[in-house]
Amino acid sequence: MKTLFTPVILSASLFLSHAEIPAAIPLWPDGAPGALGTSSHDIPTLTPYLCESNATGAAMVICPGGSYAMLAPHEGNDYALWLNRHGVTCFVLKYRLGADGYHYPAEFQDVTRALRWVRAHAIDYKIDPHRVGIMGSSAGGHLAATLLTHFDFGDTNSADAVERQSSRPDLGILCYPAISMGEFAHAFSRENLLGKNPSPELLKLLSNELQVTGNTPPCFLWTTFEDQSVPMENTLLFAGALRKNQVPFDLHVYEKGAHGMGLNDKPPFTHPHPWAADCLFWLKERGYVD
């Protein structure tokens, strides 16, 4: 399988200048389904972050948060650099946004395509197609949880090699995620994703705590008591649904920490929030890091 680009090897110990950030790869060479134009915000992409020498063969697709209105760099670039340090090859997703006129299912199409794309290019990146996770924060956590609960196993009859791949992540990492579209919803994210007057059926479909099954992948979830933007109940509802369906998970509710804090640190990540160490322990137990 021929790669579509020249990989760029990154160091996770330093900030990247704009010129050093690797090239983004369009998920659909001929344009995304339902694209409203050909500007940058109409073109969903993946940006690869490769490990220097310590790659474990595991990979992570990362969905930054931003209320489905913007994409927060510290929940994309910084997470990728941090995971690179521990041997995980990362792909940061730029998905389409409600602020640019895109509502469901555009965002879901983008994240679904991203998982398939990484698996289809596993040989190019020397990654294990059976160790591809999804990670998201806030609204990006909602998008990740949507894939964790709405995946499919690919179209084996498709002429597109990417579409033949499963979109089921092998695990999920959800950071202070928006989950529900009901009582505890983050209203701004809900409006950006679903519009002003979504139907009850759509609200139920995208309330991901209601969509968990026994086939939902294992998850690491964390939030904080102090979160004033996305109530901690979102995380607890999803954890409860995982428990009910006997899906393994690791749940952490920390007392301190504002919404959107990410690692609460910058490269070289010498003093990140404790969730980072807890997450690495969980990833090691699952064979993603050494």
> Residue 113 is part of a domain; what is its CATH number?
3.40.50.1820
Q: How far apart are CA 67 and CA 52, in angstroms?
A: 33
Residue 12 covered by a domain: no
- Reduce the DSSP state of residue 238 to 3 states and report it: helix
* pTM assigned to the model: 0.92
Residue 290 covered by a domain: no
Please give the pLDDT value at position 22: 72
- pLDDT tens for 264-282 read 999 999 999 999 999 999 9
* Pick from 150, 91, 77: nearest CA to 120: 91
- pLDDT tens for 191-207 read 999 999 999 999 999 99
* Pick from 242, 221, 223, 239: nearest CA to 231: 223
Mean pLDDT of the chain: 93
Please give the pLDDT value at position 20: 60
- List the structure tokens of 266: 């910058």
Residue 19 covered by a domain: no
Cis amide bond preceding 268, omega within 30: yes
**Owner of token pair 């950030």:** 21
- Reduce the DSSP state of residue 21 to 3 states and report it: coil
Domain that holds residue 226: 37-285
Residue 255 covered by a domain: yes
Domain count, the chain: 1
